[in-house]
Amino acid sequence: MSGPDDKKPIDFIRTIIEQDIERNLNGGRVVTRFPPEPNGMLHIGHAKSICLNFGIATQYSNARCHLRFDDTNPEKEEMAYIHSIQEDVRWLGFDWGSHLYFASDYFGRLYELAEVLIQKGMAYVCSLCAEDMRTYRGTLTQPGQESPYRSRSVAENLAMFRAMRAGEYPDGSHTLRAKISMASPNINMRDPTLYRIRRAHHHQTKDAWCIYPTYDYTHCISDALEGITHSLCTLEFEDHRPLYDWILDQLKEEIGCHPQQIEFSRLELEFTVMSKRILTTLVQQRHVSGWDDPRLPTIAGLRRRGYTPASIRNFCSLIGITKAPNHVEMALLENCLREDLEINAPRAMAVLDPLRVVLENLPEDHLEELMVANHSQSEAFGTRMVPLTREIFIERDDFAENPPKGYKRLVLGGEVRLRHAYVIRCERVTRNPQTQAIETLHCQVDWATMNKAPEGRKVKGVIHWVSAQRHGKAHVHLYDRLFSVPQPTDNKGGGTFLDHINPGSLTVLADRPVEESLARAQLGEHFQFERLGYFCLDSCDSKPGHLVFNRSVSLRDSWAKGEKKA
């Protein structure tokens, strides 16, 4: 791995870790973990966490990072996500080596430790139904009430918990709860649930269990069993830290390892959503084509859109790690991609809105095979052949009848350079007799201008083109932001995120002329279509003979910017 993402920034978490290393805490070892729940696909917010956790593991000498599936809720989880998550982490460029774990690996140990808690009088079986438990919990401002089952004897608790495990009770009839304090101002400490009865088939443990441990009980113990030193999570778990610590404190003799939980703020990106629930809704209600829809901030979507692992890693490095709420602009992400592809994408030409041009001083059968550079800054990209013929296509907005001030492209009677080829002059236009729309431009090439500046005048404009007689065809997908407002989930004035979906987020252009060489493009391969943007061959819809290009990101366009202002 090389590139800008190698510059490791020092954030408050790394500062803590470096202090811990210096003080020889944990024998100088650093063990982190990335703990996804397999109930959806990963998104750019997860990438932030992945880059943090795995980044730390690669950066310090005595360090490693585990991939652990937090699979304690079988009803919502699927095997398919377990595969896609691993694929995404690997694609981002990270490796967990042999350290692949499942929280469900620890179900046996977790159960034993629950009995230990019961024996210590620190947990009890509660027979309140869900609704009653909510009432007993109290509110933000009022303390809760103790469950009437709170004082069951150790023996009774043990017997009942064993019966729960043995399947002697119906789903939801009892829970195992920690005995902490119903008066705690922290609601998470008001006797939180540790185990619930759920007859659900688990993707890993199959039907071995009918009781499942909760996140709060499972996570801290899983961390401790794996010898995690720094358990990094997002801010919403800050209120859970006292519980994380409480459980491990009770089990000090049994486990003897107490990882440090440190929280950082989650990533918010403008004009999109990061909530798994909302992403799932968008997919299920078909507002997008699937989890890998190129408009989605999922790793799969970004990959299909044309984002590169390096660009995403660089982005994660640039946004930093803090506890402050942050809403990062899309422009930063886009810039990271441009920065990568500017150096790494070969160039090609395509015309998205074609206007026919006849080069009248070329013979009908003119065929000039131009060898052009695949990258004007780097010879390593080699060359390709681009055929020049009498008829070509140029971009419709590269010609103007009434040019705005400062227009550098083609006008009637004016000159422009055809990229990699000659300077041409536009002599006249012909129109559609019905609509009066311009149909064809009639131009003359200046033979003296191949690889040479024209004599006695300056030609400022350069436009791209494709032969009308020898070209390939491609469908081109143009993407815009999925939502029309910066924070689609902020609905203070009523409504939902669905009200902010941008109806113009996808534009499909069919059968556009592209240069012949693109027929050899590989799935997922990146190109810069000169003067237009970066595109990548769609890994899903593209087939041999049927090219589909996704626009990953447009080029910067200071002209369009000025135009908009005028």
If binding is defined by CB under 7 A, does position 528 make contact with RNA? yes
For residues 481 and 502, the answer to whether their CB atoms sit within 8 Å is yes
Considering the candidates 33, 276, 384, 409, report the single residue annotated as catalytic: 276
Asked if 39 contacts 103 with a C-beta cutoff of 8 angstroms, the reply is: no
Give me the least distance between CB of 433 and RNA, in Å please: 29
Coil, helix or strand for 514?
A: strand
Other CB atoms closer than 10 Å to residue 254's CB: what's the count?
A: 15
Out of 18, 95, 238, 379, name the contact with RNA by CB under 7 A.
Answer: 238
C-alpha 146/C-alpha 558 separation (Å) is 66
Among 67, 89, 321, 468, binds RNA (CB under 7 A): 321
Q: What is the rounded CA–CA span in Å between residue 206 and residue 218?
A: 18
Give yes or no for residue 240 binding RNA (CB under 7 A): yes
User: Using the rule CB under 7 A, is 556 a contact of RNA?
Assistant: yes
Query: With binding defined as CB under 7 A, does residue 338 bind RNA?
Result: yes
Report how far residue 263's alpha carbon sits from residue 242's, in angstroms, rounded to the nearest whole number: 13
For the chain, give the number of residues: 566
327 binds RNA (CB under 7 A): yes
Kindly state whether residue 526 participates in binding RNA, applying the rule CB under 7 A. no
Q: Which is nearer to RNA, 171 or 439 (CB)?
A: 171
Given the complex with RNA, which of 189 and 293 has the nearer CB atom?
A: 189
Question: In terms of CB distance, is 210 or 248 closer to RNA?
Answer: 210
Rule CB under 7 A: say whether 324 interacts with RNA: yes
37 catalytic? Reply is: yes
Dist. CA 274–CA 349, nearest whole Å: 35
Is 377 near RNA (CB under 7 A)? yes
Q: How far is it, in rounded angstroms, from Cα 93 to Cα 409?
A: 43
Q: Is 530 in the site for RNA (CB under 7 A)?
A: yes
Task: For the segment 55-94, give every residue that binds RNA (CB under 7 A).
Answer: 70, 72-73, 76
User: Tokens for 150?
Assistant: 């709170």
Annotated active-site residue 276? The verdict is: yes
Is 149 near RNA (CB under 7 A)?
no
Annotated active-site residue in 29, 37, 120, 419: 37
Q: Which amino acid is at 278?
A: I
d(CA 30, CA 21): 8
Q: Which residue type sits at 58? A: T
The helix/strand/coil state of 469 is coil
Q: In angstroms, rounded to a whole number, what is the distance separating the alpha carbons of residues 211 and 209?
A: 5
| Of residues 233 and 255, the one with the C-beta less far from RNA | 233
Long-range contacts of 495-501, Cβ-Cβ distance < 8 Å, separation of 24 or more: 497/273, 497/278, 498/287, 501/287
Which of 505, 81, 515, 509 minimizes the C-alpha distance to 300?
Answer: 81
The stretch among 16-24, 47-55, 186-194, 246-254 that binds RNA (CB under 7 A) is 186-194
**Mask: binding to RNA, 475-504, rule CB under 7 A, as x and -?**
------------------------------
Task: Examine residue 196 and tell whether it contacts RNA (CB under 7 A).
Answer: yes
Check if the beta carbon of residue 347 is closer than 8 Å to that of residue 528.
yes
Name the residue nearer to RNA (CB basis): 293 or 392: 392
Catalytic residue among 29, 76, 109, 266: 266
CB nearer RNA, residue 214 or residue 293: 214
Q: Tell me if residue 230 falls in helix, strand or coil.
A: strand
- For position 219 contacting RNA by CB under 7 A, the verdict is yes
Write down the least CB distance from residue 347 to RNA, Å. Answer: 5
Q: Are 372 and 384 in contact (CB under 8 A)?
A: yes
> Measured between alpha carbons, how far is residue 28 from residues 20, 68, 223, 248 in Å?
7, 22, 17, 21
Q: Alpha-carbon dihedral of residues 275, 278, 280, 285, nearest 10 degrees? A: -170
Q: Return the range that interacts with RNA (CB under 7 A); candidates 249-257, 318-326, 350-358, 498-506.
A: 318-326
Comparison of 293 and 350: residue with beta carbon closer to RNA: 350
Asked whether 454 and 415 are in contact (CB, 8 A), the reply is: yes
For the CB of residue 71, give the shortest distance to RNA in the complex, in Å: 8
Range in contact with RNA (rule: CB under 7 A) among 42-50, 282-290, 374-382, 509-517: 374-382
β-partners of residue 381 are none
- Maximum distance among all Cα pairs of the chain, rounded to whole angstroms: 102
Interface map 250-289 toward RNA (x if CB under 7 A): ---------------x------------------------
User: Phi first, then psi: what are they for 125, rounded to 5°?
Assistant: -85, 125
Residue 42 beta carbon to RNA: minimum distance, rounded to whole angstroms: 12
The binding track of 405-444 with respect to RNA, each residue x by CB under 7 A or -, is -xxxx-------x-xxx-----------------------
| Residue 473 among the catalytic residues | no
Give least dist CB 67 to RNA, A: 14
Tokens encoding 201: 């088939």
Minimum gap (Å) between residue 509 Cβ and RNA: 19
The binder of RNA chosen from 58, 280, 281, 335 (CB under 7 A) = 335
Q: Supply φ then ψ for residue 321, to 5 degrees.
A: -125, 120
Candidates 8, 90, 452, 543: give the one binding RNA (CB under 7 A).
452
Residues touching RNA, count (CB under 7 A):
94
Q: Which stretch binds RNA (CB under 7 A): 116-124, 156-164, 322-330, 355-363?
A: 322-330
199: contact with RNA by CB under 7 A: no
**Residues 438, 429: Cα–Cα separation, whole Å:** 7
Q: Which of 24, 98, 141, 284 binds RNA (CB under 7 A)?
A: 141
Q: The tokens of 378 are what?
A: 């780097």
User: What residues act catalytically?
Assistant: 37, 266, 276
